[in-house]
Every structure is written in structure tokens, then in C-alpha cells.
């Protein structure tokens, strides 16, 4: 079967009878089997996907109804999204055997448009990690080089698209968990404005940061998926009531843009030379096409990561308190009383990284330290938000590297949590400010590994950054 990188090509062949949904699903199932060494899937919905494909083929042949907008789209989902009557574990032992009673709003909207969900994919436990190594199910590997990581926490989502086991994948982005894996795997990673997509049915890590995003081969599919999932939701009070723009109607840019970039980012000591060079080359392309690029000061870059980890760990300590070994999920078999049930279940159920973040969060929220850490971090977040908004009031968007370097080797950063945290230095700003951001591939860096660049836009300005991204990237350039 030929390689499909865009839904429009799949749908064209389906309508012309050159392809069936069943053929497509069987092809992806074979790709899943061929890529088992990458440890991408936690569970494959083989029979269910084939049955759904057969039903869609029948409906198309008999003309029973107009096919949905995602007819022919085979999608994987990160193991933090609830799908009714399917297991969801956040890649953690603490939720071993748990089956969801309902589907996330985002998934309901995909299914309503005839998407086929082929399986749930690996991730860092509860979205806590940058390399997909913090999983109860083991490390996921990068398809471009199986000795390297796919990024995190949505590394399984990225690898599933990269390895051609599905057309697109749903991930989540708390501090870069969609965009950094996209950069490492040569994909398009889209994180919308906070509240643009309902978080109902998403297992929370840090509620004021989490946002569902997409990993795709091209910008057009990212735009369509966003358009379908976005919008108000009565089940999520943080979902915006704002009308959804027609993101899928991506017209060419009709004017040159004014684009900001930070010297403090492009001159950052952690930025690898190959990533910097490719980023500068991309900026030169923008300048040659008439866009105005200007360096602006951003003095807060070094404060982003410390403030982010204070705030997210604080929220995690609260959100993860429900996983207590009593109400659902894993319970230690040797617990003899309530206290032992709590202690033994959580000690064995959570990974070292999850326990580290829960303890850090509990500490910064504790009496005597709340003002010194949590309150101060909130003030820093406010400063970052205000400075970002002031820049976007003057510029159309902000350009930033998606990651300081290319995908590192498996285990390379495992013993240094701080170094792992610093891998998110360029992506966290968008989550702190609640603005949309997209990562697109810009070439191959050191050791012929994918490199991505990030475009951040104004709140609810997804269409603007999607149009810019589309103009400078197409799937034929994908890794």
C-alpha cells in the first residue's frame, strides 16, 4: 500500500474505490505488528477497528449517509484519554485494570465524524516526563533511530504516527509534551489555546496547564482535527465559549507578518549548533519572503522552568490524591489496614518520577513554604503571561526552537531529573501563558535526526499560526 500522509488523499482513494477502510486498517495493523520492537502500543483495538471499518465501507457503498469529515482517519490515543468501555491507565500501575465509564469529549467528537480509533499508546506516567521512559509499560523508542527516545510525554503518540501505524494521534501538552516529541520525530505537533479543546475525560496532571493536542504528518490534518474537537463543553467549565474558527480553511497568507524571536533563546547555552543553524536558515527563508523578524528581549526565560515545576507539581499533588488504592485501580495485596492501603498502594503504584513530583508539590504547598514557593511562582507566571501578551500585542507571532537539541539516546538523561526538565525550556512558555503553539519540522540536524521549530501565536489565534506553518511545511518533507 502506498504511504498516506494526508487525510484528503485517503478520502480521495476511498471515494474512487481504490482503497477501502478495511484495507487501510489492515495495513496499519500490520505496521503495528512490524514495529512492536518500538513498544508504541499498550493496547490495540484490532477487532473493534476492523468492525468499524467494515461498517464505514458498507455505508459508503450503499450510500446510507454522508461520510463524516474524518472518514478514513485512523487515529491512536494517548493513554491518558478516557474511551468508554476501554482501559485507561496513564501508563501507571496505580490504574491497573481500570476501565473508563465514559469517553472524553474530544474522542466523542472524533467518533461522531467517523474516525477509527486503532489503539491506546504509551506515554510517561500521568504525562510526567520528556522521553517516554517513565512508563509502567517500558520505554518507547524513536522510529528514526531505535536507540533514541521519541520525546515525551506524548512519545508513544508521536512514534505511532512516525512509524506509520496510524494517520494521526491525540496527545496532551502540559509543558511541551506534544511539540517536543513532534520535533524529535519529524512531525507537526499542535497545542491549542488553553480551553480551546475540552479537557473532560483527560486524566489530569496539572489542570491549569493541560491541553489536548494533535500529532500529524501535515498541517491540514492538524487544522481539521482541531476544528472538530474544539468548542464549548458543558462538562468542562474551563472550555471556552468562544466560537470555533474554520481552521481547516487554510488560505495562503495575504500579508507579510511581523515575527518576534528571543536572542536569549537562540543564544541559549543548551541550544545545539545544528538546531540553531537550521532555525536561522528557517528565519532567513521568512525574511526572503518579506516577513519582518525582530529580536526582542525576554528576560524571564531562565525563570520559566523553576516556576513551571513549582506550579505543576503543586497541582499534581492535589490531582493525584484520588489514586489512593481504595476507590479504583491498583490496591496492594498485603495491605492490612487503611494506612497500609494508602502507603503500599501508592508506593508501589507510582513511579519514582511521579512520587518525586507529588512530594515536591506537597512541599511547596505546605505551611511555611506556600508563600516562599507557590505564591512566588504564581507571580512569576503572571509576569510571563503579561510579557508574552505585550509582545503579541506588537507582533503576529513568536518564533522559538521546539527543543534545545535532537532526540537523545535512551537512558542518557535518566539519572539527572534537572537536565531532563531543562529539555522543556523552549516549550513551557506557551503553557504558562495559555497561548497556542505549533511545531513543524525544518530538516535534519546532528546525526541526521529530525529538528523542529515552534510558532507561538495569540490566544485563540490558531488559524494564523496554522496558515504560517502550512506555507512553510508539507508532509513530503517529513522524516
| Number of alpha carbons in the 13 Å side-chain half-sphere of residue 363 | 10
Among candidate residues 76, 92, 135, 153, the one labeled active-site is 153
- Which stretches of 108-176 are assigned E, i.e. beta strand? 116-121, 168-172
- pLDDT, average across residues 297-305: 94
Q: Is the pLDDT of residue 191 over 50?
A: yes
Sole residue written with cell 536507540: 147
CA-CA distances (angstroms) from residue 59 to 66, 68, 400? Answer: 9, 11, 45
In this predicted model, which residue has the larger pLDDT, 65 or 432?
A: 432
Q: With bands split at pLDDT 50, 70 and 90, how would you rate the model's confidence at 478? A: very low
Q: Is residue 78 among the annotated active site residues? A: yes
Q: Residues 232-283: pLDDT tens digits?
A: 999 999 999 999 999 999 999 989 999 999 999 999 988 999 999 999 999 9
Q: Contact at 8 Å (CB) between 433 and 457? A: no
Q: Is the pLDDT of residue 91 over 70?
A: yes
Among candidate residues 52, 78, 276, 458, the one labeled active-site is 78
Q: Is the pLDDT of residue 136 over 50?
A: yes
HEC-encoded secondary structure of 39-96: CCEEEECHHHHHHHHHHHHHHHHHCCCCCCCCCCCEEEEECCECCCCCECCCCCHHHC
CA-CA distances (angstroms) from residue 43 to 14, 40, 56, 156, 167? Answer: 27, 9, 22, 12, 17
| Cα–chain center distance at 341 | 33
pLDDT of residue 414: 81
pLDDT of residue 476: 64
Mean pLDDT of the chain: 96
Among candidate residues 35, 103, 130, 177, the one labeled active-site is 177
**Contacts for 264 with CB less than 8 Å, ≥ 6 apart:** 297, 298, 299, 301, 302
Q: Contact at 8 Å (CB) between 211 and 194? A: yes
In this predicted model, which residue has the larger pLDDT, 32 or 327?
A: 32
Cα(366)–Cα(71) distance, integer angstroms: 51
- pLDDT, average across residues 434-443: 98
* Pairing state between β 168-172 and 74-78: parallel
Cα(460)–Cα(444) distance, integer angstroms: 31
pLDDT more than 70, % of the chain: 99
Q: Is residue 20 among the annotated active site residues? A: no
- pLDDT, average across residues 389-395: 98
Q: Is the pLDDT of residue 477 over 70?
A: no
**Contacts for 326 with CB less than 8 Å, ≥ 6 apart:** 338, 341, 342
pLDDT more than 90, % of the chain: 93
pLDDT of residue 421: 86
pTM above 0.75, yes or no: yes
Radius of gyration of the chain (CA): 21
Amino acid at each position: 500500500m502506498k504511504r498516506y500522509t494526508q487525510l484528503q488523499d485517503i478520502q480521495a482513494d476511498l471515494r474512487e474505490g481504490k482503497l477501502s477502510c478495511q484495507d487501510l486498517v489492515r495495513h496499519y495493523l500490520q505496521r503495528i505488528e512490524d514495529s512492536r520492537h518500538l513498544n508504541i502500543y499498550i493496547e490495540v483495538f484490532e477487532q473493534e477497528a476492523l468492525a468499524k471499518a467494515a461498517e464505514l465501507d458498507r455505508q459508503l457503498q450503499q450510500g446510507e449517509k454522508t461520510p463524516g469529515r474524518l472518514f478514513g482517519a485512523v487515529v491512536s490515543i494517548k493513554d491518558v484519554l478516557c474511551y468508554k468501555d476501554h482501559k485507561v491507565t496513564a501508563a501507571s500501575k496505580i490504574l491497573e485494570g481500570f476501565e473508563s465509564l465514559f469517553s472524553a469529549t474530544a474522542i466523542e467528537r472524533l467518533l461522531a465524524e467517523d474516525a477509527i480509533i486503532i489503539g491506546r499508546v504509551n506515554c510517561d506516567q500521568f504525562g510526567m516526563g520528556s522521553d517516554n521512559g517513565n512508563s509502567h509499560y517500558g520505554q518507547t523508542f524513536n522510529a528514526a533511530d531505535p536507540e533514541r527516545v521519541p520525546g515525551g510525554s506524548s512519545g508513544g503518540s508521536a512514534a505511532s504516527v512516525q512509524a506509520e501505524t496510524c494517520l494521526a494521534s491525540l496527545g496532551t501538552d502540559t509543558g511541551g509534551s506534544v511539540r517536543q516529541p513532534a520535533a524529535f520525530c519529524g512531525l507537526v505537533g499542535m497545542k491549542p489555546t488553553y480551553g480551546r479543546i475540552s479537557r473532560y475525560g483527560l486524566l489530569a496532571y496539572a489542570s491549569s496547564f493541560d491541553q489536548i493536542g494533535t500529532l500529524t504528518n501535515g498541517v491540514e490534518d492538524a487544522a481539521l482535527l482541531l476544528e472538530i474537537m474544539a468548542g464549548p463543553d458543558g462538562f468542562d467549565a474551563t472550555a471556552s465559549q468562544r466560537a470555533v474558527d474554520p481552521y481547516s480553511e487554510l488560505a495562503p497568507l495575504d500579508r507579510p507578518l511581523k515575527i518576534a524571536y528571543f536572542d536569549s533563546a537562540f543564544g541559549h547555552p543548551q541550544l545545539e549548533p545544528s538546531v540553531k543553524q537550521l532555525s536561522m536558515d528557517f528565519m532567513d527563508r521568512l525574511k526572503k519572503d518579506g516577513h519582518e523578524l525582530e529580536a526582542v528581549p525576554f528576560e524571564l526565560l531562565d525563570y520559566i522552568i523553576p516556576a513551571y515545576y513549582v506550579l505543576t507539581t503543586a497541582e499534581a499533588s492535589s490531582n493525584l490524591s484520588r489514586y489512593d488504592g481504595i476507590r479504583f485501580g491498583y490496591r496492594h495485596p498485603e495491605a492490612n489496614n487503611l494506612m497500609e492501603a494508602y502507603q503500599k498502594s501508592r508506593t508501589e503504584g507510582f513511579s519514582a518520577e511521579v512520587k518525586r513530583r507529588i512530594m515536591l508539590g506537597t512541599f511547596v504547598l505546605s505551611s511555611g513554604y506556600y508563600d516562599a514557593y507557590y505564591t512566588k511562582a504564581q507571580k512569576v507566571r503572571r509576569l510571563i503571561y503579561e510579557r508574552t501578551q505585550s509582545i503579541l500585542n506588537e507582533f503576529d507571532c513568536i518564533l522559538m526552537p521546539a527543543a534545545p537539541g535532537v532526540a537523545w539516546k535512551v537512558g542518557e538523561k535518566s539519572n539527572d531529573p534537572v537536565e531532563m526538565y531543562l529539555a522543556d525550556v523552549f516549550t513551557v512558555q506557551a503553557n504558562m501563558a495559555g497561548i497556542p503553539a505549533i511545531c513543524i519540522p525544518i530538516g535534519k540536524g546532528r546525526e541526521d535526526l529530525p529538528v523542529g521549530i515552534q510558532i507561538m501565536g495569540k490566544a485563540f489565534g490558531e488559524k494564523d499560526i496554522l496558515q504560517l506553518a502550512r506555507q512553510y511545511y508539507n508532509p513530503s518533507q517529513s522524516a
